[in-house]
Structure 1
Amino acid sequence: MNITNEQYLALSALAYSDISTYYNKKQTTIGYLIGNNRIKDYLGKDGSVSPEFSALSTLKDWIIIDTYSNSSSGFYGIAIQDPATKDIVFAYMGTQADILGNDFSPSDIFTDLQIGLRILPQQFVDAVNFYHQVSQTYGSQYLVDYSFTGHSLGGAIAQFMTYSSSTDDKIYDSVTFNAVSPVPIIKSMDADFNKKWSRFYNYSTDHVNSLDWVGMYYGADLGKTIRHINNTEIDYKRVNFEAVSKMLLIKLQVVKGIISNAEGYKRIQDFIKNVDGSISNGSDGYSVEDTLMFYRGQAGGASGELGGGFLDFSHHHLSQFLRDDPNKSGFQYAMTSTVDSQYEFADNSDILQFINALTVIEIAKANDSARFNKIMPSDTPPLGAYSSGGVLYILPDGTYSWGTYSDASIAYAKYIVQKYERLLVSGEFMKSYVDMQKAQAEQNRRIDPLVFDLDGDGITTVSIDDSNVFFDLDNNGFAEKTSWVGVKEGLLAYDKNGDGIINGGNELFGDRTLMKDSKTLASSGFMALAEYDNNKDGKIDSNDVIYTLLRIWQDSDGDGIASAGELKQLVDLGIVSIGLSYNNTGVTDGANNIQVRTGTFTLADGSTRMTGEYLLNRNPVYSVDSSQVEISDDVALLPNVQGAGNVGSLHKAIMQDKSSSLRGLVNQFIAEKDVAKREALVEDILARWAGVGSVDPKSRGDAFDARKLAVLEKFFGAEFQGSPNANSAPLLKSSYTKLFEVVYVSLISQAQLKDIVNSVDDDNDGISFEKAKQIIDDAISRDSVAGVGLLSEFVRAMKYYGLKSSGEFIVLRSYYVGKSAEYGRIIDFAGEQVLRGTASGDSLSVGSQYTLIDGDSGDDWLRGESGNDTLIGGTGDDALYGGKGDDLYIFNKGDGVDRIYDMNGLADEVRLKHKLQDVIFERRSDDLVVYMPGSLDSVVIDSWYRGDNYKIETFTSEDGKFITHTQIESLIQAMSTFQKDTGMTWQQALSSQPSQVESIVTQYWTAPTA
């Protein structure tokens, strides 16, 4: 048919107007409907034609030849005929709320649910009946060509009709918009559909708005999918959508109040910094600028609204496919441009799982908060859920009421939100875990289940980086992030407790399987299976009782959850026996998993295939706690911190502590005003929370506190082998200090600092401390000691949140330095692990224990490491080596001559306690010299002119203004030109022409902004 996409879209929009009252078998034309204002929403509020109907007038001579409606199923369709060619287009109404408002039609929701459950909906049956009704009447009169169109659910019906009306000789086209996929239904009807699927590729086209999560995520279309963009300011081909999804995951937590603005800003900035290289990785052509622009357009501003984001359906509307064509007069709409290749949102299940769960929680809580609050999280997927691309969509349960979710659906949604909240916190704990790993130089313990090569092409596994699986391989009640097996392979399983779920490693066959005595762990999967060989013939077959109880778990969606249809009996797969003999191999595969043993299993035709035992890599810090603990209303009001490893949340621990001592410690922490006493309380909270309060601190030697080590082991889900020694103790101390700081800052941010932390505004481009300054100033004016303490703790928290290098933090510091130099020192030292020098020359290294070195007086030699270190030489001529991180060098008046060696980092800073007019930059050989006329102070940046790696990115003056390394070169040239023109040295000009000096200098120094 010769119909444009815009015309198909207009007909899809027309299907939302009930024109049956105007249609009376007299072949009403589209022109008549337009001329007599019979089309709902044809005109917008301004009187112009609504975008989705812009092409409808080009079909004014087309005739409405029939309509079909079913009030019980909610189906509505129209048949429109071209009077010239006699061709007929069927257009179907979609889910009504997409066009008409927020009240979804119950029957449409039920149809969406049936698609997910692979049940043939009545609306599909109605569409088939309508097609036959029209074709019998008009197909017999003319040689008619048919096509189908629709939006959303209507698009699913249109695609289904392309399939159901097809014959061996003929396939009719469908053109759809943001369609729900009918493929699950078709597969349930046609066992051979996968073999036929490619036939429809060129006959069915779904146009999807790239921002519409309904159209993008609801399964694969019948034919091809074309994605559209409608924001010409962003090059979508250069947007790294994986990076966007992870930033939005953080932003959603801020919007929902799970984390504060400050913490959310910190996590996003950390992510941007860490992923910067991978966003723009080579051949993929991703752009940091376009990626961040897209993210900011989605994430909204400080108001918390998601700007056109994923929790609403605005991008699902038909009008979103059109834009005004600037080449035509008036409002002339054309289809938006398309994206040839782009990252699939559906490939990243994290953001989709989280959004889906938040949507369920948001609606369920609004519908019945009392019922909602009583439901405990559960990791069991609910019946009536739809799985696509590794994402489980929790749909309304067929109760004919939009948003009415079963207890199981709400429980699972709570579990998903809790899971991702915990994972984000686990990222902070990982920084601590790295030091513990270094201390014992051992890998995470791997666990080895038996894997079956079901398709005969060898066993493939999934690396821990590519896996989305969390599974309790070690049976400790926490599901850890783990490598996994490929979707074509099978895991041998035994549902010992008969709950229809594979709960952990004990229900697989590996070195975490309990033998029949329920005490002894098997040494291998083959050993665990051999115990069930009743007749001792060296194989498991129908002569052994366990044969009918065993299952092959083929995790087809790779989510680590045994969903319906994934557990199969041996006989169903044609497996007649499993050999118990094996060969030792010890081969590491491409996914960094280790094949340790291989055996064989036999099929009914006598052929054999491989059984492999694989040591799967795992990360025990990233874990999910699925235990159900009801949190009382009073405990819910206390500060909460998510755990990691083998530690549940603080709230759960309080509820499980029968002695109530943990609750008492938390209450003491909330009431305590003294910082040192609060820190001591956190030590006790950590020990009680981890369940190690009774451990003797000296029980593992004198090198390191055994109770602190036990805390680390619990939080990281890993045992430290043996006792610490002098080499490992510093690393363990660093690990514990970092863990301690995560918990301490999390607690004060919800208690003593709650109001001031919540006062920090985030507008995506930066943050604002204006309200925080007012709170601190008020506190200082009432009680200077308490106010300064508030300043110190607030700065400590902001440094933890990664804001030390932000422009607003520099403004904050400058503001308080202007009030008192001592305030500046408090800000510099707050929250730092300080290593102090002596009056004589020292050689000091940050190591893994410290974040700040204060050399004091004397000629010192100070060295940073790979972290973001702060180095203060103090008085004397000092040598400062920053290392690889983003380092801060603080130079005070009277500090003498310091030489800085910096060979890495992206955001290094020299902070000068001098006015910018008193700072002169000069090149000497390959070095940059920064000196202050009238004093003996100077800073030498070694090898500055040998390359960018040796440069310091920013210099900051006493008043907070800064100059970048590129602006420094321009300032040096301006200084040189001034000296040549005037015949004066810069020092002479400072005293004789200070206004001219200031006018030149201020051109290159910039006032910081948030």
Structure 2
Amino acid sequence: MGCVLMHSTLEFVNLIKRSYADDIENREFSIDCNLKGGKSKWKVLKVGRNDDNGFYAAVYIKMEADKETNQIVFACRGSNSPTDFVVENPNLTWYTLQMASAIFLLREVHDILMKKKIFDYEMSFTGHSLGGRLAQQLLYECYENSKGTHVSRDHVKIAVIFNAAPTQNLAYYRPESSIPFDKYPVKHYITENEFLNSLKLPGTHLGEQIVIPKSHPYRDNNNNKIPEDAITLHNYIITDIYHMEYYLDLNGNFQDHFINQIDSKRDDILYGRNYTDYIYGGAGNDKLYGKGGNDQLHGGPGDDYLEGGLGNDLYFFKKGDGHDEIAEYGKDKTDKIKLIGFGLDEIKVNFDRAGYEKSNSIKVTLSFTSSSDTLTFLHSDGEWNNIEFIQICDEYERVIRILNFKKLADFITMENDWAKNDDQFSLTYLLELGSKYGRTFEAKDPIVMDLDGDGLETVGIEKRVFFDHDGDGKSSLTGWVGPDDGLLVRDLNGDGVINNGTELFGEYALLKDGSRSQSGYDALSELDDNGDGTIDKNDAGFAQLKVWKDSNSDGKSAPNELFTLPDLGITAIHTKYYDIGSGNESNSNILVRESSYTKQDGSSGIMGEYLFETETNRIDPEQFKQIMKRQEEPIFEKKEPPIIHSNQYEVILANQYIITDMVEKITLEESLDEIAYRATIDLVITDNFPAIGPGQEIRVSGIAPQGTSLVYLFHPGVIWECNSRNSGQKHLTVTAYDKTIYLNKCEDEYLLPAGQTATQRLKRYAADWGIPIGHIAETGKSLAKGVYRSQTIFSMILNDLKDTVSRDGLMYRARMTPNGLELFEIGSNSPVWMLDMDQNVEEITQKRTLEGAVTQVKVLGKAKEENKPVPVLAVEKGETDKYGTLQRIIQNSSIETASQAKKAAKRLLSGMQETVTVTAIDINTIRAGDKVQMKDLAFIVTSVRHELGMPGNMTLELMHIDAVRRKYFMTD
């Protein structure tokens, strides 16, 4: 079974092992990449060695289809003897002789990759013992763009190291670190009581540290029983890494839950660290504190207090664990409780406001009909202090169902206030109640097949796929299979399409006895006639199976998207699966079980059961009107006919309230002068309208021109200002901006080295300010040193883009899209919309002015002496005869010669300025910086105002591209 392009922990382990034997450059080899028999292919790119100081490292490049990829691993050998340690590291210092050798090799590798034209390479580092120390130091130096490394932060992926030697306190030697030490992308696996790490000082390690006990407890590792086994320590320096496979899952990655386990009957107080911890209290009344990081806490038997702190935390609770209390304070939106050994119908929920009447919190207690255990935690109506998900597992910890408890609790307590202090609801009843009102709080579980060999891929609900999972005739918003993979299906009614979830292999598939399947694999197993664990040509059900490859991700099957198994060269489906435990989360879809299939050529592929995130209150826009008519209790009472039609546009407040029917008017505005997209929304307020105020999230969707389904027009947005008025009917005007408003409002200081591109700098700004990144175009021009003091982040971005143009680069614009912050070339949009007076244009106005015209440019050089005249490098004239002399001065330290001066001056010359304003029928996807076509001429949109509606209208300000360059990219 093959491996995906990115590396598993097992690959890092195997590359380290290989580094302990001398290697030969350009040699190709294969290594195990998982515990399923998968292999990955590599080539030795470069070897570095210095016998005087004991340095040795090998750099490997990953191969795919016999071609070199952009994936690089720099593997540092550890010490071969105690002498190496004594000679190299007597004071645990940072800049050692081996470090100098490593940086020299790093530069050589960068040069090799440039010659190979692998400009987008991604480098990871790995090492063991002293080599592990070098690996994390190299990552640090590259991450900080240190002079001499030649490898910038943009090329760095991760360092995965094992029992690495520590070094001196980084805070003493490197105070200019740009991020906290524990935030660097380093995973450090440490054997408990290992010698080198007994020497560590505060601040001597980077990133995440995971302590592996010398002997781990009995566990059921994917159905393969593992007894207690000690990791052997060699001499007092070298630590064995050859037994670490015992701690790997089937995908070749470490089971990070073997950490800090305490099995005693005393009352323990256990503290984690600011990275991933697994803390088990054992018997007794324990107090467990995870602090920062993505922690896993299990109190064990007794009355325990569990506090995960910040991060995405997971809390375990088993039958017999007693009376536990959870205190969750984070806002990471994926904190989970794992209930082990309880059935859904055994769980009861109590919501208690006592003591919290004046706050936005409520106490939640889970109790169980099959035991006296209880579990207590708080729920709030904001982002903080919540348990978002509850996983219901069998006694083997296999996930059976996953509930979005945050949404469920909001629905019961915040939206409707149905819960009273003494009420105790069965969880089954609450789910049924939500279903009655068109709400679901469970994920749906079809079987997904990897068809292209790059791993199972899914898309989240942000892709706006609608599908009828439960067969009720309503297509709901759902997570979905990626366009390159497929769903295992049956066309039960023979109509050539897949109509709903009863024809998938999931919880709505019907078994032979007429009952619903608990799992897609339960239904699949019924097709295995001879019970050999394989469905092939010897089983009648083999001919029924099909694969739906939804290439356009629209949730609607077509005959040309359905394939038989032989069509795809598949000869056998294997029903024996491996449980994935707590799930591999991707786009909020969770992989819970995995198996394989066999192809005609003997190779294997991966298939797995996913729990897709769904929102049944978000239905297909085509069905919206019909469903709203059937609702017994509409969410809001509509007071006035809206201008915005609910089947064409949708407005969502706080990610849960559909407020479209209250909207009177929506305006979207943007210009090249600013970075943030602005939405102005006029609303009619009713008595039961939800609270709305600055800081809340809001998004606007609409049907794009020539489209049939909703797309995001304004997302993600944050409410900035609210203005209300009351004239018998209360009205509210909401002003919102996309998340780039923070880049426009916030000031900071940056000292950026010369040689970086605007692309690299934009990625850094976005990372520092928590702005998600989409497609970032590569500007390709090295910039001058950036010294920014007390400037807005947007002004820094604009300066970088202007500097790019001054170096003969193209014009780019940064803007927010649903995919994140993007950098695109001005006028590179597709499609290019046509504006025509006979079709969509209502009015054209034209403005001509000499304001902003430049008819003469003088370019000044550097002053050679203080108090002496500055030399004039060039004076260029334009249309002075026609318009008079309108002179501008250029003084730029990067301009040194007369030819450079003349070139710069000519770019700035301009005559009469012309601006065209167009009012037209709305094309709601046009953005500032887009190109449009009018009268056989191309124009750039410098500002746009959309007034959404049916059909809506827009106002565009247009300029020729040369005028855009002069006005927006060549001014001081």
Superposition TM-score, scaled by structure 2 size: 0.30
Structure with more of its chain in helix, by fraction = 1
Structure with more of its chain in strand, by fraction = 2
Superposition TM-score, scaled by structure 1 size: 0.29
Which structure has the greater CA radius of gyration? 1
